[in-house]
Amino acid sequence: MDESGFPPESVHTQRVIGCWRSKVQHKQGSANHENVTVLVTICTDGTVLKPTIIFKGKNLQRGWGENNISQASFTCSPNGWIDGKLALKWMIDDFDAQTCKKAGGQLHCLFLDGHSSHYIPELLQYAIDHCIVILGYPPHCTYALQGLDVVCFARMKQAWCDTIDTFEAQHNCGSNKKDFAGVFGSAFLKAFTPDTVKAAFKRQAFIHLILQ
């Protein structure tokens, strides 16, 4: 599992076409510059779990889940980041709920980065009680060892840029929280294909040695 932030509007350089007499050209955008955090988990069989989207806010609004084509789960936190409480909720409601049947009562392994929120006592105890082995990546090594970061999110970022550009061209503005699920879902389904997921694990050859 890994998390990544997604901006609500395009952040790369764009060309704006307008009247040749105007020295300055304008393109309407969004006033919302809050990144939205998304948790994604991939499996060695080429599948990907339903993503978890974390909005910044005190309370989750119903409209934020519209057009949920990726079947994501939604939550929120004051700063829009994962914390220990959300990590435990994710472990129970998302990870274990979607992998326990596949594991068939056997041990199943979860690789995490070193973020402190992933290792609160309640989460670790839940993992012990439910046959989940948690392995943490060495500090400062996820850029080289974690296939999600190196392979999957690289493709996801490109798909996100393409999708958000298309959205802005169609609506003449950036996306907001109400639009996010649909825009993200479209990019997610394009990026996280079985071939991409398997390529990520090929990059992580050491994992297969550990699992053996």
Between the alpha carbon of residue 122 and those of residues 86, 99, 119, the distances in Å are 12, 19, 8
Other C-beta atoms lying within 10 Å of the C-beta of residue 51: 21
Q: Kindly state the average pLDDT of the residues 138-150.
A: 75
* Type of residue at 70: S
Of residues 147 and 61, which shows the higher confidence score?
61
CA-to-CA separations, 27 to 24, 124, 131, 172, in angstroms, rounded: 10, 49, 53, 8
Could you tell me the two tokens for 202? Answer: 């090929």
By CB atoms closer than 10 A (0-12, 13-18, 19+), residue 71 is exposed
Give the residue-averaged pLDDT of 112-128. Answer: 91
Rounded (10°) CA dihedral 109, 87, 196, 204: -40
How sure is the predictor about 93, in pLDDT bands with cuts at 50, 70 and 90? very high
Q: What is the pLDDT of residue 115?
A: 80
Q: Is the pLDDT of residue 6 over 80?
A: yes
Q: Which residue has the higher pLDDT, 179 or 26?
A: 179
End-to-end distance of the chain based on CA atoms, in angstroms?
20
Give yes or no for a contact between 149 and 142, defined as CB atoms under 8 angstroms apart: yes
SS3 55: strand
CATH assignment at residue 72:
3.30.420.10
Task: Give the angle 188-190-192 at the CA atoms, nearest 5°.
Answer: 60
pLDDT at 152 exceeding the cut of 70: yes
Which of the two residues, 8 and 5, has the higher pLDDT score? 5
The total domain count for the chain is 1
Domain range for 66 is 2-211
Average model confidence (pLDDT) across the chain: 85
Contacts with 168 (C-beta within 8 Å, 6 or more apart), sequence order: 9, 10, 29, 174, 175
pLDDT band at 157 (very low <50, low <70, confident <90, very high): very high
The beta strands (E) that lie in the chain are given as: 2-6, 36-40, 52-56, 73-77, 108-112, 132-136
Task: List the one residue out of 191, 197, 178 whose CA is nearest residue 74.
Answer: 178
